[in-house]
Chain A
């Protein structure tokens, strides 16, 4: 379980958000939504202490991640898989090596076991036979899927998706959404999804955190979101639907 308590973050004089508090239960999928630039990606980078807040806590299974020493922090980070917005695949490695990378450094698997695991992971994201391709030879959607295979190869407890469908066509977006659902179900992973795509939220999420006005404006289940009378949240959802219709 991840408990976020009274987080506040600013860059110099610019306040990003403050007083952000919510819980993420084991096995659930939480979407963090909000307009561009509201600090969604900044917020999730606090979950595994890639960024530190001005104040507040992120407690994972009873431990505040910001209090951890670097060695313990690195161990904790291994419990997370992260799918970055731009995929963040290593340019110098091919698809196979990108996925095998964490296995080579963090496990004692033999070369045969690594090959088997990577092929399984490629199969899971429907990319069989692409191991030899370099990241530059892959489309945007394929890169996301390779990054997803890499993020899940060590079987993490938590998986962070930073804008997993942004810049993708609707069909590829839908494929990625299905993958997120199947990852959560098959691997029993707790998922945190940063997005501004309200249709993705309705498809994949159980709970929603809405960031607006430099803080957490709304937090609840998807069912509650549909009935909510929160003006900012409704404006955000309506704007998304309007964009799709036009």
Chain B
């Protein structure tokens, strides 16, 4: 029963967000801020995650194929394919669930318990349009871009790690990656990033917007936002794979 009530509240919050899409003047300034915070400020951690994921993937694939009679260019194919179709989107999103999701839940939660959201509403503001909508929109816009950064940095990381470890020369890595490249993989990765961006920002907004119980309540909301975001990202990953692959 409680779960149904929460689902209802979550749906209502998102419905109110969508209904206020036309109130551009209310959220445009916050949207720019959020694009910078979710996108620009996440680039370093996304690049770092991508580089190391690609590097580890290359070395581990080389290790697993050591005794197999396959051309070594297959290492490049497996690494780039795995990055584009799964790892760049999922690993990046799990990292961002902590960084972006926690920040959103804490910000909104603090505003809720210190009555700043009530203050906005009492002034005649649509607090959902002002606070929730720009965060969700920024997530929808920036996560696919971050996915592209993660994919590129992952492949670069794979090439560099392959070359340094002597597992695969760069030319063969690139040859393998190109041989098994399907444009659909990128489309699917972008679609995943879009969905994950929505899941993380909307769940975190929901948890923060309805936080209660002072500092402890904000802490709980932040923890729940991060944990639930991760769980829903994994669930959405499974559903998307089952539907589209």
Residues of B within 8 A of A154 (CB): 123
Whether a CB of chain B sits under 8 angstroms from the CB of A138 is: no
CB within 8 Å of A: which of B112-169? 114-116, 118-119, 121-126
Q: How many residues of B are in contact with the other chain, CB < 8 A?
A: 14
Residues of A within 8 A of B126 (CB): 70, 74
Whether a CB of chain B sits under 8 angstroms from the CB of A15 is: no
Query: Which of B110, B115, B121 meets A77, CB within 8 Å?
Result: B121
Question: Is the CB–CB distance between B114 and A86 below 8 Å?
Answer: yes
A91, B116: Cα distance in complex, Å:
9
A154 nearest CB neighbor, chain B only: B123
A78, B26: Cα distance in complex, Å:
15
B119 nearest CB neighbor, chain A only: A88
Question: Is the CB–CB distance between A88 and B123 below 8 Å?
Answer: no
A75, B121: Cα distance in complex, Å:
11
Whether a CB of chain B sits under 8 angstroms from the CB of A90 is: yes
Question: Is the CB–CB distance between A105 and B115 below 8 Å?
Answer: no
Residues of A within 8 A of B119 (CB): 82, 84, 88, 90
The distance from the CB of B67 to the nearest CB of chain A, in whole angstroms, is: 58
CB within 8 Å of B: which of A111-143? none
Question: Is the CB–CB distance between A77 and B123 below 8 Å?
Answer: yes
Question: Is the CB–CB distance between B122 and A85 below 8 Å?
Answer: no
Interface residues on A, range: 20 to 34
Query: Which of B25, B26, B116, B124 meets A90, CB within 8 Å?
Result: B116
Question: Is the CB–CB distance between B124 and A88 below 8 Å?
Answer: no
A80 nearest CB neighbor, chain B only: B122
Residues of B within 8 A of A48 (CB): 122
Whether A50 touches B122, Cβ cut-off 8 Å, given contacts A85-B115, A88-B115, A88-B116, is yes
The distance from the CB of B244 to the nearest CB of chain A, in whole angstroms, is: 38
CB within 8 Å of B: which of A81-96? 82, 84-86, 88-91
Residues of A within 8 A of B25 (CB): 105
Query: Which of A45, A82, A88, A105 meets B26, CB within 8 Å?
Result: A105
A75, B125: Cα distance in complex, Å:
9
A85, B118: Cα distance in complex, Å:
11
Question: Is the CB–CB distance between B114 and A77 below 8 Å?
Answer: no
The distance from the CB of A136 to the nearest CB of chain B, in whole angstroms, is: 12
CB within 8 Å of A: which of B85-131? 110, 114-116, 118-119, 121-126
Residues of B within 8 A of A90 (CB): 116, 119
Residues of B within 8 A of A106 (CB): 123-124
Residues of A within 8 A of B116 (CB): 88-91
8 A-B pairs closest in CB distance: A78-B124, A88-B119, A88-B115, A82-B122, A74-B124, A77-B124, A84-B115, A88-B116
